[in-house]
Amino acid sequence: MARTMKENLKDRPLKLTFPEIELARQLFGEHNVHLQRIADALAVRINTRGDTVSIDGDPIAAALAGNTLEQLYGLIQKGYPVYPNDIDYAVRVLSADDRAQLKDIFLDTVYITAKKRAITPKSPTQKAYIDAMRRCDIVFGIGPAGTGKTYLAMAMAVAALQKGTVSRIILTRPAVEAGEALGFLPGDLTEKVDPYLRPLYDALHDMMRFEKVSSLMQRGVIEVAPIAFMRGRTLNDAFIILDEAQNTTSEQMKMFLTRLGYNSQAVVTGDITQIDLPAAKSSGLIEASQILQKINDIEFIFFSHTDVVRHRLVQDIIRAYEQKEKSPAPGSAM
């Protein structure tokens, strides 16, 4: 293990030693790109000599950089492959809570894709979301785009199917732009609804080989359909995901939630800041979040811009829009 930071608190610069050279190289990244990423994020200077890292700058930022490096080193020792984006996630998690343990988050493998890539949570909220899905029959994941709500739910669904705890996966979305009256669109029914369901297909194909997905869909093991197709059904022995739920009406949300059958689990995801319903229609997701909070075995997980796992600019974009919504309009009374 690296020499602990407590031994270095009075040193300037802060020095850490990572004795396993091959692991240290993985930690530092090619041409020290990982170290530079941490240095840029925390406004510190990081230099290396052999297996020793020296960190110079604001003491608090230097301690945070050291904590990040030591915990990432511990992940690598456990066989976790650290990618550049993991550096960003680690800095973000530890900046919010320097007592957080990355191993408790990053090492919680949900599913291993066909390309042998492990899907794991990348933030405490994502970890809470995964734990909620393991514990509860109905889980709501509410928050901005890019926070992994749908992707992690899909990973849990595929893992449940693979383990045999459910016999099918049902994925549904509202086709709100067409009002679910799709007749005026060209093509057959599949061609009409496919554009609205494409993100669900994309997530599936990211986890499973194309041929496998096609085979399971042909056999009805995986079903992708607009929410209107759920009416009148009882969904037994299934993992059901309702995506883009902010665009369901109150009636659609009630209909969907009452489809849940024996040995089934439902995950509802949505972003209440991106509602596309007509002004006269209220969002079923907002209503559900207001009236279902006290029911046992239903859990709500709320994500924020700090949980974004897309390009680093997405987090900044979401934060900018949030600040705009909180600020009074120009010329308005204070």
* C-alpha span between 143 and 305 (Å, rounded): 8
Residues of the chain under the 50 pLDDT cut: 1, 6-9, 178-185, 188, 334
Judge contact between 19 and 68, C-beta under 8 A: no
* C-alpha span between 224 and 219 (Å, rounded): 12
Judge contact between 84 and 29, C-beta under 8 A: yes
Long-range contacts for 187-193 (Cβ within 8 Å, ≥24 apart)?
193/225, 193/226
Give residue 261's pLDDT: 93
Give residue 289's pLDDT: 94
Give residue 196's pLDDT: 67
Give residue 193's pLDDT: 58
Give residue 180's pLDDT: 45
Give residue 225's pLDDT: 83
Give residue 311's pLDDT: 64
How far separated are the first and last CA of the chain, in Å rounded? Answer: 56
> Vertex 257, ends 202 and 239: CA angle to 5°?
45
Peptide linkage before 59 cis (omega within 30 of 0): no
Alpha helices by DSSP H, listed for 175-311, are 189-207, 210-218, 250-257, 284-291
Q: Is the entire prediction scored with pTM above 0.75?
A: yes
Using DSSP bridges, classify how beta strands 168-173 and 222-226 pair: parallel, antiparallel or unpaired: parallel
* C-alpha span between 272 and 22 (Å, rounded): 46
Give residue 279's pLDDT: 82
Give residue 13's pLDDT: 81
Closest CA to 93 of 117, 119, 121: 121
The pair of three-digit structure tokens given for residue 32, joined into one six-digit string:
């020290």
**Helices and strands, number each (H, E), in the chain:** 12, 11
Give residue 177's pLDDT: 53
Give residue 332's pLDDT: 53
Residues 215-270 pLDDT 10s: 999 999 999 888 888 888 999 999 999 999 999 999 999 999 999 999 999 999 99
> Vertex 253, ends 228 and 283: CA angle to 5°?
105
Return the beta strands (E) in the chain as ranges.
14-17, 45-49, 52-56, 111-112, 118-119, 138-142, 168-173, 222-226, 238-242, 265-270, 298-302
Give residue 152's pLDDT: 95
Give residue 181's pLDDT: 47
Using DSSP bridges, classify how beta strands 238-242 and 265-270 pair: parallel, antiparallel or unpaired: parallel
Give residue 176's pLDDT: 62
